A and B are shown apart, each in its own frame.
Chain A
Amino acid sequence: MDPFVLALWAVRLSLVALIWLFLFAVVRVLLRDVRRAAAEPGAELGRLVVVASPDAQPPVGARFPIDAVTTIGRDLASTVVIGDAFASLEHAVVTYRGRAWFIEDRGSTNGTYVNGSLVDGVVPLAVGDEIQVGRVRLRLDRGRR
């Protein structure tokens, strides 16, 4: 057989093979990304970040990974403990229902505020909203995946 025809045949098949090699290389990178994301600890629904805290309890910048039900208050059994004199023992509850966040005031003395407005009943919460409990302000952030 003509060596040139043979070479051409090899070249054009190796082109197809190389395109697939590239695709596999890409998919390997994607798989590694997915595995690394899955291996990272703390798959959390969201997190509360302390934005302002006059008594530094908790300190500004502290992050609380939160789950579907999160209690906020001065009580040490709360998920997020607020060491502020203006916070009630059982102050507020943040819940994740299906696909949206909600916050409810638990009859606190000084009230709970979302973006500066008083919470009355159950109020939807969006990522990025600021919650005020006592003098402590917390921001709801997206969790890490």
Chain B
Amino acid sequence: MTAAAAVAPRGLARIRPRLRRREAVLLVLVYVVLAVGGLSLGMTRTGEATVAGWQLLVTYGLALAFVHLAQTLAGRRTDQVLLPAVGMLGGLGLLVMIRLPQDLVTQDVGSLELGLAELQTLWLCLGLGVVGVLAVAVRSDTWLRMYKYTWAFAGLALLALTFVFGIDQGGARLTLVVGPFSGQPSELLKVILVVFLAGYLAEYRPLLASERTTLGPVRLPPLPYLAPMLAMVALGMGVVVVQRDLGAALLFYVVFLAMLYIATGRAAWVGLGVALGAIAAVALFLAFPHVRDRVSVWLDPFADPLGAGFQIVQALHAFARGGLFGVGLGAGLPEIAGRLPVPAVHTDFPLAAIGEEMGLATVLGVLGLYLVVLERGLRIAAAAADPFRTLLAAGLALVVGVQALVIAGGDLRIIPLTGITLPFVSYGGSSILANALVAGLLLALSDRGIEPPPPPRTRGPIMRALRGRGT
């Protein structure tokens, strides 16, 4: 008996299906929510007990089940909460897309003309495919760890391409068009930036944590070792600012400060960073008229309710109409004079649509789901085997959490509105795929069977610098 087991190839012997009961239970709850949501929309629309867009909901449900089954069959011991939480956010987003007018976005694929919800289903399924592949196939993080500069330059090159070949859309040059495909590289750049920062900070952490540069009585961080990282961050953010993608710039900066704090544990640096950020914000305010517009609209949207403040005023009215439990899916205010009450509702303001039709209770629920994703990410970070994985997991979770915070705050007029997407909920291929990358990497990092980290380096400039310190 034992001889037969020993003969089996090692790779195959290790693959043993493992039940994921908690994930299955939570996924069933997601299915129930999707079914009831579809029913609610169908009843409002047709006046009969039908489920609106059931083909799309079933397709999405099958894609979720596929990721669950792939991990079960491969016997992965990954986190069991992340997929249902992300799946719920994606599902709520899909319900909103099914409800919105389908001609907001259309694309011809061959002879087929796909509408908003169909395209979103397509992107969600592709995204879930990415999640499944990453969760099952990633057994080692060397490909991220060793090539951090390669990734960083690839990301910046992508941004530079947008400069040259990008097209203007709504005053910001964000969209890169290659043949039939178009995408927003800044979404992908946020993932690449986290990978680079995790690699860099993990390597230089011992040096950064030991303050050596002193300027009179002021103890400064070891500037020579911070310079490459600061240059990279400044370059990335500068490009993003010039492209007028202020939401992404804010996101990058907050995540950078948070990761620096996690790596070094020095609150003073974060204070310094926040002060520098405030100065930069004032400079941007003075330098760019569109930043001034954003701030004045935020301070008083009702000054010009039909012009600059139109979007935010309509969003606030939508939230107010919704009340505590919403007016019901599909029962929200129809189009006014052929256009939607809230412009760009499918990308920047899905939260307003949720707030109007499903109420404050659901908005709070959605924010709770982002907290859950953040908690899982930080827990994965705390349990990680080495600093690189800790920083990577924490950074990835923070990217999702901070992005949700920035756009939700903008939608609710708590901070100035910056046009970024609500992760997993908003319409958009780049957004869905980039956030799927985040979810997939987090799942892979949470696997307790993942390859152990490589031994630390014993040679090289960092160890030499550290050794020089000891004497």
Bound pair: A and B? yes
Q: Which residues of A contact B (CB under 8 A)?
A: 4, 7-9, 11-16, 18-23, 25-27, 29-30, 33, 98-100, 115-117, 119-124, 126-130, 142, 145
Interchain CA distance A7-B205 in the complex, whole Å: 60
Does B26 have its Cβ within 8 Å of any Cβ on chain A?
A: yes
CB distance from B119 to the nearest CB of A (A): 24
Once the chains bind, are B361 and A12 in contact (CB under 8 Å)? Answer: no
Closest to A51 in B: B455
Once the chains bind, are A12 and B326 in contact (CB under 8 Å)? Answer: yes
Once the chains bind, are B25 and A8 in contact (CB under 8 Å)? Answer: no
CB distance from A31 to the nearest CB of B (A): 11
Question: Which of A7, A20, A26, A119 makes the CB contact (< 8 A) with B470?
Answer: A119
Question: In the complex, which residues of chain A have a beta carbon less than 8 angstroms from the beta carbon of B382?
Answer: 145
Question: In the complex, which residues of chain A have a beta carbon less than 8 angstroms from the beta carbon of B209?
Answer: 99-100, 124
Does B383 have its Cβ within 8 Å of any Cβ on chain A?
A: yes
Q: Which residues of B377-402 are within 8 A (CB) of A?
A: 379, 382-383, 385-387
Once the chains bind, are A16 and B326 in contact (CB under 8 Å)? Answer: yes
Given contacts A19-B365, A26-B369, 20 further A-B contacts (CB under 8 A): A7-B43, A11-B39, A12-B329, A12-B358, A14-B36, A15-B36, A16-B361, A16-B362, A25-B25, A25-B26, A26-B84, A29-B26, A120-B470, A120-B471, A121-B470, A124-B210, A126-B456, A128-B386, A128-B456, A129-B456
Once the chains bind, are A99 and B456 in contact (CB under 8 Å)? Answer: no
Does B242 have its Cβ within 8 Å of any Cβ on chain A?
A: no
Does B230 have its Cβ within 8 Å of any Cβ on chain A?
A: no
Closest to B453 in A: A128
Once the chains bind, are B29 and A25 in contact (CB under 8 Å)? Answer: yes
Once the chains bind, are A115 and B387 in contact (CB under 8 Å)? Answer: no
Once the chains bind, are B33 and A127 in contact (CB under 8 Å)? Answer: no
What per-residue 1/0 map shows which CB atoms of B289-331 lie under 8 Å from chain A?
0000000000000000000000000000000000001101100
Question: Which of A30, A117, A128 makes the CB contact (< 8 A) with B375?
Answer: A30
Question: Which of A12, A22, A124 makes the CB contact (< 8 A) with B88?
Answer: A22
Does B359 have its Cβ within 8 Å of any Cβ on chain A?
A: yes
Q: A23-B372, A120-B470, A126-B205 are in contact. Are A16 and B456 (CB under 8 A)?
A: no
Q: A20-B365, A22-B88, A29-B80 are in contact. Are A12 and B386 (CB under 8 A)?
A: no
CB distance from B207 to the nearest CB of A (A): 9
CB distance from B298 to the nearest CB of A (A): 29
Interchain CA distance A127-B202 in the complex, whole Å: 11
6 pairs, A vs B, C-beta closer than 8 Å: A12-B358, A26-B26, A116-B458, A120-B471, A126-B456, A128-B453
Question: In the complex, which residues of chain B have a beta carbon less than 8 angstroms from the beta carbon of A12?
Answer: 40, 325-326, 328-329, 358
Question: In the complex, which residues of chain A have a beta carbon less than 8 angstroms from the beta carbon of B29?
Answer: 18, 21-22, 25
Does B466 have its Cβ within 8 Å of any Cβ on chain A?
A: yes
Question: In the complex, which residues of chain B have a beta carbon less than 8 angstroms from the beta carbon of A123?
Answer: 466, 470
CB distance from A70 to the nearest CB of B (A): 19
Question: Which of A21, A27, A117 makes the CB contact (< 8 A) with B458?
Answer: A117
Question: In the complex, which residues of chain B have a beta carbon less than 8 angstroms from the beta carbon of A124?
Answer: 206, 209-210, 466
Once the chains bind, are A115 and B463 in contact (CB under 8 Å)? Answer: yes
Question: Which of B210, B325, B365, B383 makes the CB contact (< 8 A) with A145?
Answer: B383
Question: In the complex, which residues of chain B have a beta carbon less than 8 angstroms from the beta carbon of A128?
Answer: 386, 453, 455-456
Interchain CA distance A13-B412 in the complex, whole Å: 23
Question: Which of B33, B457, B470, B471 makes the CB contact (< 8 A) with A18?
Answer: B33
CB distance from B364 to the nearest CB of A (A): 9
Interchain CA distance A122-B467 in the complex, whole Å: 11
CB distance from B468 to the nearest CB of A (A): 11
**4 cross-chain pairs, A with B, having the tightest CB-CB distances, nearest first:** A115-B458, A12-B328, A99-B265, A128-B456
Does B22 have its Cβ within 8 Å of any Cβ on chain A?
A: yes
Interchain CA distance A9-B327 in the complex, whole Å: 9
Question: In the complex, which residues of chain B have a beta carbon less than 8 angstroms from the beta carbon of A130?
Answer: 455-456, 458
Interchain CA distance A8-B456 in the complex, whole Å: 61
CB distance from B32 to the nearest CB of A (A): 6
Closest to B358 in A: A16
Question: In the complex, which residues of chain A have a beta carbon less than 8 angstroms from the beta carbon of B386?
Answer: 127-128, 142
Does B140 have its Cβ within 8 Å of any Cβ on chain A?
A: no
Interchain CA distance A127-B71 in the complex, whole Å: 30
Interchain CA distance A4-B48 in the complex, whole Å: 8
Once the chains bind, are B368 and A23 in contact (CB under 8 Å)? Answer: yes
Of listed A9, A25, A120, residue having the most chain B CB within 10 A:
A25
Does B37 have its Cβ within 8 Å of any Cβ on chain A?
A: yes
Question: Which of A8, A26, A126 makes the CB contact (< 8 A) with B85?
Answer: A26
Question: In the complex, which residues of chain A have a beta carbon less than 8 angstroms from the beta carbon of B26?
Answer: 22, 25-26, 29
Once the chains bind, are B372 and A15 in contact (CB under 8 Å)? Answer: no
Once the chains bind, are B458 and A16 in contact (CB under 8 Å)? Answer: no
Question: In the complex, which residues of chain A have a beta carbon less than 8 angstroms from the beta carbon of B466?
Answer: 123-124
CB distance from A34 to the nearest CB of B (A): 9
Interchain CA distance A100-B372 in the complex, whole Å: 29
Once the chains bind, are B471 and A121 in contact (CB under 8 Å)? Answer: yes
Question: In the complex, which residues of chain A have a beta carbon less than 8 angstroms from the beta carbon of B81?
Answer: 26, 29-30
Interchain CA distance A122-B455 in the complex, whole Å: 22
Once the chains bind, are A126 and B387 in contact (CB under 8 Å)? Answer: yes
Once the chains bind, are B40 and A8 in contact (CB under 8 Å)? Answer: yes
Question: In the complex, which residues of chain B have a beta carbon less than 8 angstroms from the beta carbon of A19?
Answer: 33, 88, 92, 358, 361-362, 365
Does B30 have its Cβ within 8 Å of any Cβ on chain A?
A: yes
CB distance from B373 to the nearest CB of A (A): 10
Does B47 have its Cβ within 8 Å of any Cβ on chain A?
A: yes
Interchain CA distance A116-B92 in the complex, whole Å: 55
Question: Which of B85, B92, B387 makes the CB contact (< 8 A) with A127?
Answer: B387
Closest to B373 in A: A26
Q: Which residues of B32-67 are within 8 A (CB) of A?
A: 32-33, 36-37, 39-40, 43-44, 47, 49
